[in-house]
Amino acid sequence: MNQQFGEASKTVQRLASAVEALNQRAEILQVPPLKSYEWHETLRQKLVPQLGDHAFLVVAVVGGTNIGKSVIFNHLAGCSASSVSPLASGTKHPVCLVPPGFDQKSDLNNVFTDFTLEAWSDANRALAETDIDYLFWKTSDSTPANLLILDTPDIDSDAPVNWDRADKIRRSADVLIAVLTQQKYNDAAVKQFFRKAAAEDKAILVVFNQCEFPEDEEYWPLWLEKFCSETEVVPELVYLAPRDKLAAKENRLPFQQRDWPSGSAELDRSPHDLMRDLSQMHFSEIKLRSLRGSLRSLLDEQQGVPKWLNVLSVRAGLYRSATEQLATNKLAGREQWPPIPNPLLVKVIRAWWRERREGWSRSVHEFYNTVSDSILWPFQKMKQSFQAPPEPPFDAYRQREWSAILETVETIFERLEFMSHTDNQVLAERLGKLLDGKSRAELLRLLENAHTNIDFERELQELVSVEMQRFEQESPHSHHFLKKLDQLSAMVRPATSVGLFMLGVGPAGDMAAQAFGNAALGAVVHVTGDVVGGTAVAVGGDAVLGSATHKIAGEIEIWFRKLHALFVAKRVTWLLEQLQQHLWGTFLEDLSSGAELTESPEYLAIATILEELRPQLAALDESEESDSSAPAPSTESGVVHP
């Protein structure tokens, strides 16, 4: 049996650390803290400390406020270890009687992990109101060697901290001495407490205190029957104690045992010594029972770890659906993104081309461009003085792109609003923070700042240079064709420039010449640009290109279209980055990591451990059956009473 305990103990230790690991990951899911789960507290307070080291039995006196718990405890202690007061809710901290030599075998700190342990010095210390959960321990010679006996705070007064401490002791305990009275045996708080204890399979001794003899003799079986049917407690032993203030004060309250459930006629009125009765209990059997009970509640589908896993997976599902709703590629629409105007694109391509002209063609073009620029300079000046300064070429585009950004942001906010209104109460708080007016204004401000600082020309230039080089490599034919065309135009350049100028067209003529000089490339690009834009078919397109070059034109067109798409993609990416930085922060990552929780190794590990633990519990169940049929080993039950 010890071996089985050992195995289960190891598994439980692993489970405890796996739960901690998963819990850290699960923090993102905003589930209730582990502390609020009964199974977790049982795991920490009962199974982890006691599965490995089960050489002692924890006995706790529990019950409602002001019904004489401390009186009964003092009876066990044989002295006034716990203070008794006529006022309710007196005991605030548990007091523990420790057998001599206990600290050589086990460490009390490991048994009561959630308490601050202090050596007992004075009965009144347990009455002090503090936030720290103290446990006062006192070595008592009258305590059997492997018993720990505790007095606990109440479970029903207006001080919830008392209930909490009583609950902690309840989980650690193997044996509960349930103190009941005529007034309290059917109270909701009392019933709830003992129902949990019964579910954990604790051994329970019932003491009806403050009985009035002889009339209560007829009532106590009724009370007990009600109590047992409501809580499913099966008491091991039942005692009655009379209402006798003086006896209670002098610590000589007589406890009379009653038979239950037979309620038999055997009326042994001689007072029992509870401590003696306790020491004669089958320790190992009780210990095994309570450990198994705790293990069973740990594995319970409705209340145990599986339930927690289920809660996590439901929550993760919620996050998954939120992630799907907020899939960013759906939100930032490429469709409504404005394309860069063709003239701007063409201009940038031309500038790039000009840079890359080589040799003869380069010098011819450059010479004529310089000449025409200097001739045209005064005319341009004049034109400028007449008209308002021209708008920077990219400003109109910037404006349109800003509209697209605003539309995207609006869509996102609409989606978030919808989410915060419908499901997802969990995310409501974070969503509320994203959606509040101040953060919206701040987001718009940041986006606008970033947006006005963008140099579109440079962005476009970068894209063009990268893509032109790729174009050169991928479609050498088309590139070669363009180059030839350009050289051809350089060849005819003197004729066109000089000819037009001589004809008296003057500056206008030169403009035309220059236009023609750049026309070769320009025309090709324009034609494709127009095709892409779908606005019009360039009138001279076919004439310039010739029918033989259709294939090349097609290639260029595809490339041109790609350029547009690439630019839009670049801009959308920019927006997504900005949104990530200024709007989402860690929100989307949190969502997706929450959504993936159920596939995480931590989650799967716990499921595996649970699978291991189930057969181990079954083995313990079997061993108990065989154990109970065998006589109790004398070493473990019954310790010499001084």
Q: Segment contacting other proteins (CB under 8 A): 370-378, 389-397, 406-414, 523-531? A: 406-414
Q: How far apart are CA 449 and CA 133, in angstroms?
A: 55
Asked if 65 touches other proteins (CB under 8 A), the answer is: yes
Nearer to other proteins, 88 or 558 (CB): 88
Q: How far apart are CA 294 and CA 8, in angstroms?
A: 12
Nearer to other proteins, 182 or 600 (CB): 182
CB of 183 to other proteins, least distance (A): 3
Nearer to other proteins, 376 or 428 (CB): 428
Q: How far apart are CA 378 and CA 375, in angstroms?
A: 7
CA atoms within 13 A on the CB side of 511: 8
- Out of 181, 297, 408, 489, point to the residue binding other proteins (CB under 8 A): 181
CB of 122 to other proteins, least distance (A): 22
Q: Segment contacting other proteins (CB under 8 A): 185-193, 353-361, 510-518, 545-553? A: 185-193
Nearer to other proteins, 563 or 575 (CB): 575
Q: Parallel, antiparallel, or unpaired for β 57-63 and 147-151?
A: parallel
Asked if 182 touches other proteins (CB under 8 A), the answer is: yes
CB atoms within 10 A of CB 463: 18
CB of 182 to other proteins, least distance (A): 6
Long-range contact set of residues 581-590: C-beta below 8 Å, sequence gap at least 24: 582/442, 582/443, 582/446, 582/447, 583/412, 583/434, 583/443, 587/430, 587/434, 588/323, 588/326, 588/328, 590/28
CB of 638 to other proteins, least distance (A): 36
Site for other proteins, residues 213 to 232, rule: CB under 8 A: 215-216, 219, 222-223, 226
- Out of 192, 313, 321, 461, point to the residue binding other proteins (CB under 8 A): 192
Nearer to other proteins, 195 or 564 (CB): 195
CB of 83 to other proteins, least distance (A): 15
Nearer to other proteins, 67 or 126 (CB): 67
Q: Segment contacting other proteins (CB under 8 A): 4-12, 13-21, 315-323, 400-408? A: 400-408
Nearer to other proteins, 281 or 405 (CB): 405
Copy the structure tokens of residue 350.
Answer: 């031309």
Please state the φ and ψ torsions of residue 76, each to the nearest 5 degrees: -65, -40
Q: How far apart are CA 175 and CA 392, in angstroms?
A: 87
Q: How far apart are CA 556 and CA 562, in angstroms?
A: 10
Nearer to other proteins, 238 or 545 (CB): 238
Site for other proteins, residues 235 to 264, rule: CB under 8 A: 243
Site for other proteins, residues 133 to 172, rule: CB under 8 A: 156-160, 163
Find where tokens 């008392």 sit.
Answer: 162
Helix (H) or strand (E) holding 147: strand 147-151
CB of 444 to other proteins, least distance (A): 6
Nearer to other proteins, 421 or 570 (CB): 421
Nearer to other proteins, 436 or 589 (CB): 436
Asked if 434 and 583 count as a contact pair (C-beta separation under 8 A), the reply is yes
CA atoms within 13 A on the CB side of 239: 23
Q: How far apart are CA 556 and CA 552, in angstroms?
A: 6
DSSP state of 267: -
Q: Segment contacting other proteins (CB under 8 A): 15-23, 186-194, 560-568, 633-641? A: 186-194
Q: How far apart are CA 168 and CA 41, in angstroms?
A: 8
Q: Total binding residues for other proteins by CB under 8 A?
A: 50
Q: Segment contacting other proteins (CB under 8 A): 189-197, 284-292, 364-372, 532-540? A: 189-197
Nearer to other proteins, 55 or 446 (CB): 446
Report angle CA 597, 599, 603 to the nearest 5 degrees. 70
Copy the structure tokens of residue 557.
Answer: 């067109």
Site for other proteins, residues 416 to 445, rule: CB under 8 A: 417, 432, 435-441, 444
Asked if 49 and 113 count as a contact pair (C-beta separation under 8 A), the reply is yes
DSSP state of 577: H
CB of 393 to other proteins, least distance (A): 20
Give alpha helix (H) positions in 232-358: 245-249, 274-279, 283-299, 305-325, 328-331, 342-356
- Out of 35, 119, 141, 188, point to the residue binding other proteins (CB under 8 A): 188
Nearer to other proteins, 215 or 625 (CB): 215
Asked if 410 touches other proteins (CB under 8 A), the answer is: yes
Asked if 185 touches other proteins (CB under 8 A), the answer is: yes
Q: How far apart are CA 31 and CA 597, in angstroms?
A: 12
Asked if 583 touches other proteins (CB under 8 A), the answer is: no
Report angle CA 107, 112, 113 to the nearest 5 degrees. 95
Q: Segment contacting other proteins (CB under 8 A): 34-42, 257-265, 408-416, 559-567? A: 408-416
Q: Identify the burial level of 455 via C-beta atoms within 10 angstroms of its C-beta, where 0-12 means exposed, 13-18 middle and 19 or more buried.
A: exposed
- Residues in contact with other proteins, shown as a per-residue x/- string from 74 to 113 under the rule CB under 8 A: ------------xxxx------------------------
Query: Nearest to residue 140, comparing CAs of 202, 196, 228, 74?
Result: 74
Copy the structure tokens of residue 593.
Answer: 């990591």
- Out of 234, 314, 406, 508, point to the residue binding other proteins (CB under 8 A): 406
Q: Segment contacting other proteins (CB under 8 A): 124-132, 182-190, 294-302, 504-512? A: 182-190
The residues binding other proteins (CB under 8 A) are: 64-67, 86-89, 156-160, 163, 181-189, 191-192, 215-216, 219, 222-223, 226, 243, 399, 402-403, 406-407, 409-410, 413, 417, 432, 435-441, 444
